[in-house]
Structure 1
Amino acid sequence: MIRYLTSIGLSAVLLLAIVWSIISNFHKEENGGEALNEVNQPVIKEKEIHTSVGQVEDNQGDAGSFYVDIDESVLYSHDHEHMEQQPEVSALNIPAPDFELMTLDGKTLKLSDYLGKKILINFWATWCPPCTEEMPILQNYYEQHAEDNNAVILAVNLTDQEGGIEPIRKFANDFHLTMPILLDKKGQVSINYEILTLPTSMIVNEEGFLVEQIIGPVTEEMLEEKLGVK
């Protein structure tokens, strides 16, 4: 008799456990399907943008189909704007620091030798692409208009940042440059003129005052406006 009652009791407990399990799962599904998600589906969470690697990923670690190299896109945008923008012109009114430099053909020139003329001092280097672009424009003005307009162009090369004199000589020959090319071998003149960007040009008036700074390659129209044309 006792064994029979025990068997009935165990059966009842098992039946209650099954019923409770069914009711519990039913309530979980009604409350948002948590049990289903936990067993059969990944929980989709908010996506995160990892700018360090430029990928869009969810926080399960799976890479998405969209890829952007953040660093390169920013650099490209910046370079594009730099190439498209007009040269930056700033007005000045300070005495031009005098200097004495050797030219590519071995002469020695001083800035003060040209007092009474309009002077454009162009700071440049052979490895600077915008310098290469503007050099024919400077040479053309020097040949065609400088003498008639009491003007001179001094091309000051940042020789301390070059690989010797020969690249400069080759550059001058390739572009058939006849304007004075001055060699800033120690970099002191570029320091005195606070040159941070190439090319940079300085306009000095007839009285020896710096009147304008031009950051970026000059154009033919700018030369005619700043130095004159007849």
Structure 2
Amino acid sequence: KRQGAEIREHAVVQGWKPSGNGVEVRTDSEVLHADRLIVTAGAWTSRLLTDLSIPLEVKRKVALWFDTPKDRYQFPDGKPTFFFDRPAGAFYGFPSIDGATVKLAEHTGGMIVENPDAPNRDEILDDLHNVIPFVRESLPHLTERRRHSVCFYTCTPDGHFIIDRHPEYPQVTIGAGFSGHGFKFTSGLGEALSDLALKGRTSQPIQFLSIAAGIDRLKSN
């Protein structure tokens, strides 16, 4: 906001279309016009980019919070973020921030989400199938499950992101398919997307993240 951004909270984007050299974006409450558009729509990307047929798969992922003793897994004591790669799956988590619970999740697996507007947000047995044995074996001091939260992974076939300009409308830039590991690259991805939108090019090494490169990899496999 300090840089002049206008934020529309809870606005549902229903679609967009080119308008001259710019774009028109239609929401549930208004129509916006802009010179440039960056589409970073997560699980709703395919809905807004139907013309490109980018192979994206949305997966339902569940994070779990477990009670922990106050003398275990505490962030102030230097306990690290962790990642375990096991035969049953890959698991990650964070030391206790609140002094009472540890957050963890399975990075692998996940149910396919057909409609991101209406996901199942209840905890189900499949959510726990691999996590509970992992906790018992690797984090035995964790006790009761306290709560859970459902989120989405929007995945490409090979897990690589898509960072590119629209092949037909260069005023539109796309950031998609972050496959559950995009957050740690936020600063670099943000710079690349900004460069592409404003300059049409970037010094960031993103050639392998183009739409065409992703399709070529898919064909070669």
Q: TM-score, normalised by structure 2?
A: 0.19
- Write 1 or 2 for the structure with the bigger share of strand: 2
Q: TM-score, normalised by structure 1?
A: 0.19
